[in-house]
Structures are given as C-alpha cells and as structure tokens.
Amino acid sequence: RLKPGGRRENPFGPGTLTRVIAVTSGKGGVGKSTLTANLAVALAAQGMSVGILDADVYGFSIPGLLGLAPAGIAVKPTRLDDMILPPIAHDVKVISIGMFVEDASVAVAWRGPMLHRTITQFLTDVYFGDLDILLLDLPPGTGDVAISVGQLLPNAEVLVVTTPQSAAADVAVRAGVVARQTGQRILGVVENMAGLPLPDGSVLELFGSGGAAEVAQALSAGQDTPVAVLGEIPLSIALRAGGDVGDPVVAAHPTDPASQAIVALARII
Ligand code: ADP
C-alpha cells in the first residue's frame, strides 16, 4: 500500500493484525538472539506465519543462528521491483542488518536517527506478506530504539529476557521500564541460562536463580495486571552448539530440555 506521495505504509503500524513482539534485554550476552531465533522456529512449527526483524546493530546474529550465514557471511535478500524479499529459514522470514553490511567484521556504530531510518525501512520495504507474528531482535536496553519501536509499532508487546543473576536482572528491569514509558505492553519475563541439568539428575545453578522473578516483581509494582515469568530456559550445550552451526535446537534436538522449554513458551505467548 502506498501513502500519498508514493511512500509505502508500514503494515505493522496501528491497527495491524500481526502480533508484534519485541524481545529485549538489559545487556548483551543473556541469550536474547538465541531465544528469538528458536522461539520463531517453534512458533512456525506450530503453524504460525512468522517473521523476524533483526535490528541488533551490535550483534545481528539472527542469520547465523538460523543457518542464513554460511561461512559467517549473511545471505543477501533478493529484490522484487522495489521490495526486499526476506530470506526464509525453518519457515521463518528473516531480515537483518547483517544482510546489508558489506564487512561484518566492521563494528556498526550507529546513532539513533540512522537506526530509526533502518527500522522504518525494514518495516515498509520488506515484503513479509501476512504474518501472524513478527519478532523483533533489538539492541540491548537502549532508549533510542525503544522510542522508535514506540512510534513505529505502537501495538508491540515486549518480552524481557534476563539470566538468573541479579546484575542482569537489574538492567533488565530498566529495559522494561523504558519500553513501558514508550507505550508498550510488557508481555512477560523469560529467564534464560537457568540451571544446567547434570547426568546424575542434579541441577547446576551456574548463574544463581531468581533473576526473572525479581524482574517480574519489579515490573509489576503499581500495575493493575502483574507481569509474569513466562518461562525458564535451562543452560544447554545443544542450544549453544545449534546456534554456533546455524541449526536451531528446537528443530535439531526437540527432546533437549531447552527445546522443550522454548516450545512450551511458544504455546503460551
Ligand atoms: P544476546 O542476544 O543476549 O547478546 P546470544 O543469544 O548471542 O545473546 O547468546 C550469547 C551466548 O550464550 C551465545 O554463545 C549462545 O549460544 C549462548 N547461550 C544463550 N542461551 C544459552 C543457554 N540457555 N545455554 C547455553 N548457552 C546459551
């Protein structure tokens, strides 16, 4: 659809029928991208039409996680007229900043306006078709992006990812508060890197426990509806290894405890 003046409309703006879920975290390295990629694959396997918009300028790891970056270089999207066609992996349509940078080893140091323009262009110029769900993988905890998402995607819900550690939980609370200030609804909190199940049946809590509960409690203060912990994803070698080779664990090892936790999360969100 074209707006007057020939510019295309953002199909995910106000009134959209697509559920838009922004996956956020307070800091990097908590597994936000790994969870986004696997959650998308799990949702697609449950019959949903799913897209991922990877605007994590510092990380842009989604293509690699889904096998769309052979030899470390993200595949280039094809074009149809002036539309960009998103590459598809595991039935998930993917667009990533990593598909547009010439040299992935050069750090992308972008300021807010540039990021805003890129997200706007991804929303308007990428042909996703009718999606049930669009997942956004955004840079950790920055105000600039939260404001862009608030403006461009007023219907977006926010899924906050944290580890069990208090330090990660504190910054995750701030990311949630910023998202809420820009008008987004908090869908819930996910604890990633929870206990590692050991062969003898015990569980090793490498990063402690309770981070997500802490975040949910802090974000529930003063709210009519409390914010819930929606899932706990255990530490998993298969999950990490699957990410390294671009073969998402939910598809490659469905019986792995991390896969089961992510599939369960996909069912309830
Ligand atoms: P973020 O997007 O938050 O920066 P990533 O998704 O890139 O984090 O994950 C950081 C690292 O942690 C990756 O190497 C990933 O494979 C690993 N990782 C993420 N979640 C888990 C988990 N549950 N168990 C083991 N390793 C994990």
- pLDDT, tens digit, 9 for 90 and up, residues 41-96: 999 999 999 999 998 877 789 999 999 999 888 999 999 988 999 999 999 999 99
Q: How many CA atoms lie within 13 A of 137 on its CB side?
A: 31
Question: Which residue segment(s) compose the domain that 252 sits in?
Answer: 19-268
The answer, yes or no, to whether any atom of ligand 1 lies below 6 A from the CB of 90, is: no
Which structure tokens are listed for 269? 């969100």
Give the chain's domain count: 1
**CA of 192, closest atom in ligand 1:** 23
In a domain, 86, yes or no: yes
Which structure tokens are listed for 23? 């996956």
pLDDT band at 111 (very low <50, low <70, confident <90, very high): low
In a domain, 7, yes or no: no
Q: Which of 6-10, 23-27, 65-69, 265-269 has the lowest mean pLDDT?
A: 6-10
In a domain, 14, yes or no: no
In a domain, 12, yes or no: no
In a domain, 29, yes or no: yes
CATH number at 194 reads 3.40.50.300
Mean of per-residue pLDDT scores for the chain = 91
What's the CA-to-centroid distance between 181 and ligand 1, angstroms? 27
In a domain, 219, yes or no: yes
Mean pLDDT computed over 229-234: 98
Q: Return the residue whose CA atom lies nearest to atom 15 of ligand 1.
A: 240
What's the CA-to-centroid distance between 34 and ligand 1, angstroms? 6
At 161-172, the pLDDT tens digits run: 999 998 889 999
Residue 191 reports pLDDT greater than 70: yes
Q: Which of 50-64, 133-147, 238-252 has the lowest mean pLDDT?
A: 133-147
Query: CA of 143: how far to CAs of 4, 39, 120, 177, 223, in Å?
Result: 31, 24, 16, 10, 22
- H or E segment at 113? helix 112-125
State ipTM: 0.99
Q: Return the residue whose CA atom lies nearest to atom 12 of ligand 1.
A: 31
